[in-house]
Structure 1
Amino acid sequence: MLFLNCSKIKTQTSNMRKKLSPNIFLFLAFIITISSCVNRKQIVYFQKGAHKSDTIAAIQAYVPKIQPGDILGIAVASLNSTASGFFNPYSASGADASGSGGGAASVATAAPGFLVDSAGTIELPLIGPLKVAGLNTSQARDLIKSHLTTYLKEPTVNVRFLNYKISVLGEVAHPSVYIIPNERITITEAISMAGDLTIYGKRTNVMVIRDVDGKKEFGSINLNGREIFNSPYYYLHSGDVLYVEQGKGKIAASDEAFRIIPLVLTSLSVIILAIYRFR
């Protein structure tokens, strides 16, 4: 009787193993396949937290200061165009007295202009060296204008940055260095210029690398939340580097093993199912 029971148990175990073997392969293939998928919640921007208000206090707008190494476009106009033209040796640079520039950024290219030297000064025709480091462009404009009144009647001055640039790297559609035509850019605008994050970009930890007093500062922004609008990294500074890390989905999808294993397991499952079915 005991022998018959043992034989019956072995038969049931063998049958169960036959049924489970192909199912195990299918299950493993399913697990590996979904491991490379991206959850919708991971890619939605500005998600509302539970019991959170729809109103978020905006951070104070960033006003950049002139620093050594900056290139300034300075355009001068007056009632005497011939006289004012003497102060515009770089008129082809695109800086004019009519405004602060267009609304679209461009890929970084060299532009002529007045270089702020290591002492924080620029050299202007007739006027000579002027200390502009530490000033914003409005203050620099007023300073230059005060010196021009000696030579021009009712001068108009426009000062703008020609090398205000940011770098966008990582999982974005168009990683590059971008020249910003005005003095202000937000992280959302920078991402838009770079063609948005790819589906595999890690939105919960976008890194901002910034030079502060000769040191590298590393900040982190979560694009899934709404708190980015009052983050100190919401407004990007000239020279900032924006880096978007790869998510696990991209790593899995790009790995050769992850691409091949599901196919192999699925093929084996089909073969085993066919063998067990026709035995």
Structure 2
Amino acid sequence: MMKSKRLLIILSALLALTAMQSCKSYKNVPYFKNVSDSAYMYRNGIEVAAQPYKDIQIQPDDILQVTVLTLDAATTGTGTNGQMDMIQDPLSSSNPLANNANRNIAGYLVDKEGNIELPIAGKVKVGGLSTSDAKEAIRLKVLQFYKEPVVNVRLANFKVTVLGEVLKPGSYLVASEKATILDALGLAGDMTIYGKRENVMLVRRDGDKQKMIRFNLNSTDLIQSPYYYLRQGDVVYVEPGKGKAAATDASMVRTYGIIASTLSLLVIIATRVNF
């Protein structure tokens, strides 16, 4: 009987350990937890100063979607609607924000000198420009060939990669240039319960170097960070917390608990039979 009691004590300790290790502290789970949950907040809300957005600059190896429209159909030779699609939209998808980046992207590649080469119009310098400035540069170039052209330009390979403790890690194409780190996490299905909200890392190319920045998503200070808005090629990494390792170990502890419970039952049966 003493042996069975000892086994029962061990089993209880194992179960308690499992419960403690499998629990994740709630205090760091919510985003922006420094925002009050008072009645005033529900009625009026608050304003948080946001980091001003800076236009993305076109870089070598970027891919641009370029579309030219003109009222003179005879000039373009494209039919009665006077539209010349220099490239089809590579981001059309049921998801309006992005789709998986593991696919071929059609468009005009920006060469090492910052140029793209368009049909008829030839080379246009776009490196270092925003897409708005590139649109004007292309419009002035094609004005020589088309009557009253309307030009649209979009970055076609705005790719971000999200790794670590998220639901769907991977690389994603982003349709909107004004995307934030929250958008990136949304594309990846948000962080898992084990992701460290207070320690999310952004890796960004800065010339020949890689810059690393840490964010705390528990605080609204995130919105004021100069790195809040994403740039092409950014990598977001969500570090796993201690709860991840504990959850992995917990499954092993549960297995040991089942084994201990079985052995305890066998000892009790054997003890009573001998008695």
- For Structure 1 versus Structure 2, the TM-score category normalised by the shorter chain is 0.7 to 0.9
Deviates most, 27-36 or 60-69: 27-36
Unaligned runs of at least 5 residues, structure 1: 1-14, 97-101
Bigger Rg over Cα: 1
Change (3 A) 1:222 1:268: farther
Which of these residues, 249, 252, 265, is aligned with residue 246 of structure 2?
A: 252
Residue type of the partner of 1:142? E
> Where in structure 2 are the equivalents of 1:1-279 lying within 5 Å?
22-23=8-9, 26-48=12-34, 54-84=46-76, 88=84, 90-94=86-90, 103-108=96-101, 109-255=103-249, 257-264=252-259
- The whole-number CA distance in structure 1 between the counterparts of 2:106 and 2:174 is 15
CA contact under 8 A between 2:169 and 2:188: conserved in structure 1? yes
Shift of 1:35: 1.6
Whole-Å Cα distance in 2 between the matches of residues 208 and 132 of structure 1? 27
Offset, 1:261: 3.8
Range with greater deviation from structure 2 (192-201 or 112-121): 192-201
Cα deviation digits, residues 66-94 of structure 1 (max 9, x gap): 00000011110111235346895643335
Contact 1:205-1:222 within 8 A present in 2 as well: yes
Q: CA deviation at 1:234?
A: 1.5
Residues 205 and 273 (structure 1), Cα distance of their counterparts in 2 relative to 1, 3 Å cut: farther
Q: Provide, for residues 186-218 of structure 1, a one-character-per-residue CA deviation record: whole Å limited to 9, x for no partner.
A: 111111121111122221211111111121111
Once residues 57 and 99 of structure 2 are traced to their aligned partners in structure 1, the CA distance between those partners, rounded to angstroms, is: 22
Q: 1:226 to 1:271 in 2, by over 3 A?
A: farther
SS in 1 for 2:166: coil
What is the Cα deviation at residue 259 of structure 1?
3.9
Query: Does the residue aligned with 1:173 lie in a helix, a strand or coil?
Result: coil
Structure 2 alignment gaps of length 5 or more: none
Tell me the TM-score normalised to structure 1 length: 0.79
Which structure features the higher share of strand residues? Answer: 2
Shift of 1:111: 2.0
User: 1:195, 1:251 → 2: CA distance?
Assistant: 21
Cα distance between partner residues in 2 of 1:85 and 1:111: 26
Separation in 2, partners of 1:74, 1:48: 44
The SS at the match of 2:185 is: helix
Q: Helix, strand or coil for the counterpart of 1:26?
A: helix
Residues 200 and 238, structure 2, Cα contact 8 Å, conserved in 1: yes
Letter in 2 for 1:46: F
Structure 1 residues 234 and 23: CA distance shift in structure 2, 3 A: same
Q: Distance in 2 between matches of 1:103 and 1:128?
A: 32
Task: Report the more deviating stretch, 196-205 or 235-244.
Answer: 196-205
Contact 1:185 1:236 in 2 (8 A): yes
Partner of 2:223: helix, strand, or coil? helix
The verdict on how the C-alpha distance between 1:61 and 1:271 changes in structure 2, with shifts beyond 3 A counting, is: farther
Distance in 2 of aligned mates of 1:237 and 1:209:
10
Count of residues in Structure 1 that have an aligned counterpart in Structure 2: 257
Structure 1 position 273, deviation (Å): 9.0
SS at match of 2:198: coil
Q: For residues 91 and 258 of structure 2, what CA distance do their matches in structure 1 show?
A: 59
- Counterpart amino acid of 1:105? A
